[in-house]
Structure 1
Amino acid sequence: MRLPRFRALADRLASKLGKDVGAVRRDAQDRLGEMVSVKSRAGTWLWDHALGPAHTRAFTIDADAIAVARLKKLNEQHALVFLPSHRSYADVFVTSKALSEHGLRRPRILGGDNLSFFPMGPIARHSGGVFIRRSFKNDEIYKAVLQEYLTHIVASGDNLEWYMEGGRSRTGKLRPPKYGLLSYLVYAIRSGAAKDVVLVPTSITYDQLHEVQAMMAQETSGAKPKEGLPWLIDYARMQQTWIGHVHLRFGEPLSLAERLTEAGDDRDRNRYLVEKTAFEVFKRINQATPVTSQALATLALLTLGDRALTLDEVYRQLAPLLDYLRARSLPVSEVEPLRHHHGVMTTLETLVKTGIVARFDTGTEPVYRIAPGRHAVAAYYRNSAVHWFINRALLELAMWKSAHSGAEDLVKAGKTETLALRDLLKFEFIFSDRVGFREELLAESDLFDPDWRNRISTARQRTDMLGDAPFLIAPTVLPTFLEAYYILADRLAAVPSGKVVDEKALLDACMSVGHQYVLQQRVLHPECLSRELFANALRLAGNRELLAPGGPDLAKRRVAFARECESYMQALIELAGARRQPQVTPPKEPVRVAA
């Protein structure tokens, strides 16, 4: 607090809040003490050689060395702010190890104060870790001090790292971003303290994670165990078994100063800019995220629910997906072996070993299925790649719905359905703006059928085109989300329209009634029972003004929301029935020479 900026901040706060300057300075000093960090040789050594291995020994780190070299050069001129996807408690140790091994300056890592317990807290604080409160929206002094401290860090040229999702993803895909800390960086530049900071979209993708099953259990119960020394010991013990690779990739960096220049001095545009920048960061994270063999294998097995598949059937499910990845030149990791039966079997066995896939091999040939009770875990791995398939899925479902709509203008009906689906799932996925979205759908259509423009005039043409497709992805990737949204909409419609919605009670009801609906097969995918998915559906309901008390019209609109979701669920069932199994000629197996 001896720095002039901090003293001036305390004076401004005292005037704004109508409090004594001395009292405000003491409060600000206390709050700064909660978050300030140092970088000591001992703290850094303990982070790298004690805490680090305890979290990362389960993985082999696969970092994009070329991208890191570019970032190292960029770091010579600019402070870098790494904004990774958040999948595991191991994330911060993965990034620290990879960046330091490639000679990049160690960032100061922002994390929740729930992890500030001994010995994690002292070690992290002495190796650049900054602990912040999980919630501080009503504490004006805390917000101002944190903003000034982050400004001080980037102005001094230090790198930063934090997780904009605000917590580990429970679904395997990106959660909606939180904007608060990003707005503080805008302040750092606007105030003149820093000329620029460069945002680095960072993708962290695990082949598998030991902690996923525990996260799924928390999703069901709604209870999260308290972090502390016993928890840390249990977590470190869980990491003793190697489980695969973790893939560290980097999206195209963004200059925050350049984006601010585009916005000018308009305050409203600046607020919109923060939101738009956050979504652009997440879009670039998705673009850098590779498709893994485990993601494809779980996608294939989840396609047919509880039905077991032979090795050859899994292979045939995967073959057209691999062709699709190649046609789009998507980033991948170790998926080429899936073009051979041996590679498929190897991937399936890694999932059998961790209990996600069950193998039955006492019949005429082995068959594989998702293990009972592990659908949510399998969906977690599938969802790490689901963003690459979402536009294709929306295109398929919109094509089917428009073909059965009875509309005279099927082209217009198809566009309407596509935009309606985009709006329904806008809190679930990072979509491009409408112009970009349209261009992406046109590209998808060309891949779907190069002659599509001549095959969309009639309902029969549309259904034939879907039936002739080498694969259909909508019945695989969309049901989980639409069923979760249906459950939320159904329970919301049961709330009297004149009553204030108790959001926690509503989410609890979604879990309990949703479980009933799974047992009754009113919904068919157990992985739809996710508090995270229900929460996103709740955000959509709020966006559609379906939460605040109202009259009879509100009740009708809530019912319409549920029927909209139910209509899409039924269409997906029908679309799945139209799917024709592709005929695939297996390539020659690679020759394996005995050692």
Structure 2
Amino acid sequence: METVYHAWNVVDHARVASGAAELAIFTALLYWFFTSSRVADMLEVVGERVGGWCGRDGSLRQAVRARRRDVYAKLDADAAVRNATLYRLKEGPVVPPPQPHTRPTIGLACPRCAPHSRESWQEADGQSDTVANILDIGRQRFAGGGVVSRHLCDLAQCLQLETHDYKDVTPEVVADARFQNAIDEEARQLADGEGGYAAARRRVEARAMAVLASISSAMSNNVLRLVAWLTHKAVRRVAGAGCGTRAAVRLAAARAAGLPLVFVPLHRSHLDYILVTFTLYLTGVRPPLVAAGDNMRIPLFGWFLRGCGAFFIRRGQEGSNHNSDHIYKSALRAYILNSLSANNNLEFFIEGGRTRTGKPQLPKAGILSVILDAYLEGTISDALLVPVTVNYDKLVDGSFVREQLGVPKRMETFWSALRGIWRTLNTNHGGIRVDFNQPVSLKELVSSFDKYSHILPAGAGSGEEVSLDRRLLCAHSRSTMFGAGVSERQRLMVEAIGRHLVYDAAQSTALMCTNVTAYVLAAEMRGGGTLARLQKLVAARGALLRRAGRDLGYCGDVRAAVTRALDTLGRGLVRRGRVVRAASGVGAAIELAYYANAVVAHYAPAAVVATALESLIQSSPDSSEVSYDDLMAASLRLAEIMSHEFILCPPCQRIEDKLAEAIDELVASDVIAEVKHTDALEEQRWSRRVAAGLDDAPPPAIRYRLCHTPAAAAERRRLILTLRPLLEAYAAACRHVADAPQKTVVTATLDDMLDDFAHNRMTYGEAISTDAIRNCHRLLRQWGVIDIITEDKQRVVRLQEPYTDPTRLSEICVHVYRYNMSTPLLDDVAT
């Protein structure tokens, strides 16, 4: 009985509670019904009609009219206030509305090499300064449409994209004379050993057709639409700050010329393949055929990439058998040439693979040499080269820490791609920028090459000293795609054009908030500081970069930008508390340096001069002055050491001239000051570069002294820290060079550096880098200290005479050690 009574109480309480809830809901409905202006209008109409039927005004109608009078009275009062305000504004001083953020005009063609291209593809005023979010194209287009088109704007936009006719060039490739000659040559070689030319040719033809099938693209309008829709959804989820682009209107004007467009992006992420095609497709430009690495030929994803225009190429690595595969090389050359002759657009990553350091890499001239061949042979009348830059607030592919620490690169698989996509879609990577430079005429670049007198081959027996600019070009032009009988002049031309494209793209890369913040933490606030100080330094650095003509991928309140940068970088890279500082540890230092290196590349010339200046000061502590000649000579030596890390200037400019500009910048920023001598003529000081080019007028003896203000010391320290981790890595690589497999040498160097960092003998965790060590080996090979050969399918380091003697090896390595000097400016760097 007690149980029944208890159950009855529970039911009774539930009934009371439900009744109270019903009463509350009913009261809320009544309140909304009688306070809604739309319901009041309805009641007025009903009341008027009922009153008309009854012949009198009811109380309901009177109540509604009273409410209506109150509403209109309030509206009239608001209108009176607005009219009075407008009258005061008209009679008072005119205050202009807030203007949008002004961005520098970037990505223009070089005025020395391509003045006609620079003038031909100029946009109207203000168009090049506009950054458009490509994710909003569909929303803006269908904003005034129906309900379905507004809510499915991405799908509607993709369904209405322009279709193109993509011709299959495989039959033309099969009939190509060079392709057939390569088949004949290999068939004859096999027939000599096995007998029977016909049987050998059938086998070679079968392999050649398989190679061609593995290369060929299968671009489809339907696949492009599907991938465009999927990219809309993925990028909206990945890039919380949107995907911006600028200057795409240049391409709309250039495509009217009827010439093939060759897009040359810098490579940061696997997403680059899709983003460039996605941006071009949405802006009305014919999507290009894309040269993709064969590591991306994985199930399902490789099919999607092939449908988007990807043709897969092998990685050209020294020591691999691909370099001697004439069938493959002839098939690839024929495919590219016939695609260009069919007026297809083309896209290839001129750096080869993705950058592991965040800095632009030296160009790989393989595909570029094929395009130049097509022009020189008359296959195409001209082509428009378009440098492209893609940058991310946070790298979509994750970090390259494992590879920098010597762990072999993992090959992409179907399941690793799925895991990477799932991880990416569940992470906010901030903003993305995809920008296009002005198209540059290949014909104009070739004709301008004759003006590069400082890199052109000297006449036989001239006795003229080879300039540093030409030595660097000769050392780096190692492409395996050059055809037989290619002259040295053509090799230098391909290398020069490639370096110019990389330099132009690097200078127009939008610097994201994570890039600037990471650089300030690494070079200006390495010991840590308050959040307010970080915000102040980031604001000052951003203003200086903008004044130097660099585009910033963020705007608005710097405090919000710094907060977003710190949130994007994460607590694994930046420790936040009362003191904000970079996280300790090798992995965090390497990953943070990746983001900072985009700014490091900008300050490389000034950092070279500042480091050379410090080496001269520390080598002669009793002297308070340095001469211009000594400073320039030391800067040129350091520029050669850093030649595998940075492209300091375009090939149309001499490195010495670029370093002279950097010296002038240090003078203008009061880091150094020119010593005034009473017996020197004013004309000699400002005309020293003109006099340097005359045989009978040597440059005057100009000297500089240090400025000892705190601001000058801070600027010198910042510039030295910009290059110091690289010099630490180069010094360690020189100490461990030996006759051994290169992998063993690199591992020994990394282990020693890790031990030094663990025992606080080395400050810079980002110096522990496989890329920097291998670049130092390339430098030593360029100097003739070592040679790198292939034995048993692995690369082996061999010391050359006379550097097998440790004493002679130390004498050449001292050129690196002298710039890794001890200086009081770095004594307070935290370990």
Query: Scaled by the length of structure 1, what TM-score is found?
Result: 0.87
Residue 348 of structure 1 aligns with an amino acid whose one-letter code is L
Using the alignment, how far apart are the partners of 1:451 and 1:336 within structure 2? Answer: 34
Number of the residue aligned with 2:70 = none
Q: What residue in structure 1 maps to residue 515 of structure 2?
A: 295
Which of 172, 177, 193 is the matching residue for 1:3? Answer: 172
Matching of residues 224-303 of structure 1 within 5 Å: 224-240=409-425, 241-262=427-448, 267-303=487-523
Note the alpha carbon deviations across 1:7-58, whole angstroms, 9 max, x for none. 4234422454435455544332221111111222332234323477557741
- Superposed CA deviations along residues 463-482 of structure 1, whole A, max 9, x for unmatched, are 52686366332233111211
1:385 offset after TM fit, Å?
1.8
1:399 pairs, out of 590, 613, 619, with 613
**Alpha-carbon deviation of 1:551?**
4.2
* SS of the residue 1:524 aligns to: coil
3-state secondary structure, aligned to 1:74: helix
CA shift in 2, pair 1:460/1:72, >3 Å: closer
Q: Specify the SS of the correspondent of 2:381.
A: coil
Within the candidate set 675, 682, 688, 1:454 is matched to 675
Give the alignment partner of residue 328 of structure 1, picking from 534, 537, 548: 548
The one-letter code sitting in structure 1 at the alignment partner of 2:817 is E
In structure 2, distance between residues paired with 1:98 and 1:166: 21
C-alpha distance in 1 between matches for 2:827 and 2:238: 41
Cα distance per residue 1:145-201 (max 9 Å; x no partner) = 100100011111111111122211111111221111111111211222211111111
Segments of structure 2 that go 5 or more residues without pairing to the other structure are 1-169, 190-196, 317-321, 451-484, 678-700, 788-798
2:227 maps to which residue? Answer: 47
Aligned to 1:352: 570
Partner residue, 1:514: 753
Equivalent runs, 1:408-419 vs 2, <5 Å: 410-419=627-636
- Contact 1:39 / 1:128 at 8 angstroms: preserved in 2? yes
- Aligned partner of 1:369 in structure 2 is 582
Is 1:12 matched up with 2:181? yes
Contact map agreement 1:488 1:537 (CA 8 A) in 2: yes
Partner of 1:223: 408
Match of 1:82 in 2: 263
Letter in 2 for 1:132: I
**What is the distance in 2 between the residues matched to 1:229 and 1:189?**
39
Distance 1:14 1:521, change over 3 A: same
Code of the residue aligned with 1:388 in structure 2: it is H
Greater mean deviation of Cα atoms: 7-16 or 391-400:
7-16
Larger Rg: 2
Counterpart of 2:212 in structure 1 is 32
Distance 1:62 1:51, change over 3 A: closer
Residue 216 of structure 1, CA deviation: 1.1
Partner of 1:542: 781
SS in 1 for 2:256: coil
Deviation at 1:520, TM superposition (A): 2.9
Distance 1:467 1:122, change over 3 A: closer
Residue in 1 that maps onto 2:529 = 309
Residues of 2 paired with 1:258 and 1:557: CA distance?
47
Q: 1:269 to 1:552 in 2, by over 3 A?
A: closer
Deviates more, 1:150-159 or 1:224-233: 224-233
TM-aligned CA distance change 1:46 to 1:507, over 3 Å = farther
Find the residue that maps to 1:242 and give its secondary structure: coil
SS of equivalent residue, structure 1 residue 200:
strand
Q: For residue 377 of structure 1, what is the amino acid of its counterpart?
A: E
Change (3 A) 1:306 1:476: closer
Residue matched to 2:816: 565
- The aligned residue for residue 253 of structure 2 is 73
Q: Distance in 2 between matches of 1:577 and 1:219?
A: 27
Instruction: Give 1:464's aligned amino acid.
Output: H
Q: Is the Cα contact below 8 Å between 2:566 and 2:574 reproduced in 1? A: yes
State the partner residue of 2:715: 471
The CA distance in 2 between the partners of 1:374 and 1:114, in whole Å, is: 28
* 1:332 aligned counterpart, secondary structure: coil
Q: 1:216, 1:377 within 8 Å by CA — same for their partners in 2?
A: yes
Matched, 1:556 2:807: yes
Q: Kindly state the Cα deviation for residue 421 of structure 1 after the two structures are TM-superposed.
A: 1.1
Distance 1:4 1:417, change over 3 A: closer
Q: CA 1:463 to 1:556, structure 2 compared with 1: closer, same or farther past 3 Å?
A: farther
Matching of residue 574 in structure 1 with residue 791 in structure 2: no
Percent of aligned pairs with the same residue? 23
- Please tell me the residue identity of whatever aligns with 1:540: L
Bigger Cα displacement from structure 2, 381-390 vs 402-411: 402-411
Distance 1:256 1:296 in 2: 34
- Distance in 2 (alpha carbons) for counterparts of 1:242 and 1:409: 51
Give 1:163's aligned residue: 349
Distance 1:45 1:342, change over 3 A: closer
Over 3 Å counting, the alpha-carbon distance change for 1:188 and 1:458 in structure 2 is closer
1:326 to 1:13, Cα distance in 2 relative to 1, 3 A: closer
- CA distance 1:37–1:14, change in 2 (3 Å): closer
User: Which residue number in structure 2 is paired with residue 111 of structure 1?
Assistant: 292
Partner Cα separation in structure 1 for residue 357 and residue 410 of structure 2: 19
Contact 2:609–2:659, Cα closer than 8 Å, also in 1: no
Q: Distance in 2 between matches of 1:52 and 1:558?
A: 57
Query: What's the offset of the Cα at 1:268?
Result: 1.9
The answer as to whether partners of 2:406 and 2:770 remain within 8 angstroms in 1 is: no
Amino acid at match of 1:482: L
Query: Could you list the runs of 5+ residues in structure 1 that have no partner in the other structure?
Result: 580-595
Matching of residue 385 in structure 1 with residue 630 in structure 2: no
Shift in CA distance, 289/414, structure 1 to aligned 2, threshold 3 Å: same
Amino acid at match of 2:497: T
Distance 1:342 1:90 in 2: 27
Cα distance, 1:331 vs structure 2: 1.9
Mapped partners of 1:164, 1:5: distance in 2: 27
Structure 1 residues 451 and 488: CA distance shift in structure 2, 3 A:
closer
For residues 48 and 397 of structure 1, do their structure 2 counterparts lie closer, same or farther at Cα, with a shift above 3 Å needed?
A: same
8 A contact 1:43–1:124 mirrored in 2: no
Structure 2 CA distance for partners of 1:271 and 1:451, relative to 1, 3 Å: closer
Shift of 1:346: 4.3
When structure 1 is superposed on structure 2, of 100-109 and 204-213 the one drifting more is 204-213
Count of aligned pairs between the two proteins: 563
Please identify, of 297-306 and 203-212, the stretch whose mean Cα deviation from structure 2 is larger.
297-306
- Report the CA distance shift for 1:414/1:450 in structure 2 as closer, same or farther (over 3 A): closer
Larger mean CA deviation between 397-406 and 179-188 belongs to: 397-406
> Which aligned segments of 4 or more residues in structure 1 are displaced greater than 6 angstroms?
455-460
Between stretches 389-398 and 435-444, larger displacement belongs to 435-444
Aligned residue number for residue 191 of structure 1: 377
The offset of 1:267, in angstroms, is 2.4
- Aligned to 1:201, the other structure's residue is in SS state strand
The CA deviation at 1:343 is: 4.5
Displacement of 1:532 = 1.3
Q: RMSD value over aligned CA atoms?
A: 3.0
What CA distance in whole angstroms lies between the structure 2 residues aligned with 1:58 and 1:560?
52
Matched, 1:147 2:333: yes
Post-superposition Cα deviations, 1:361-384, rounded to whole Å, max 9, x if no partner, equal xxxx45443354411111000001
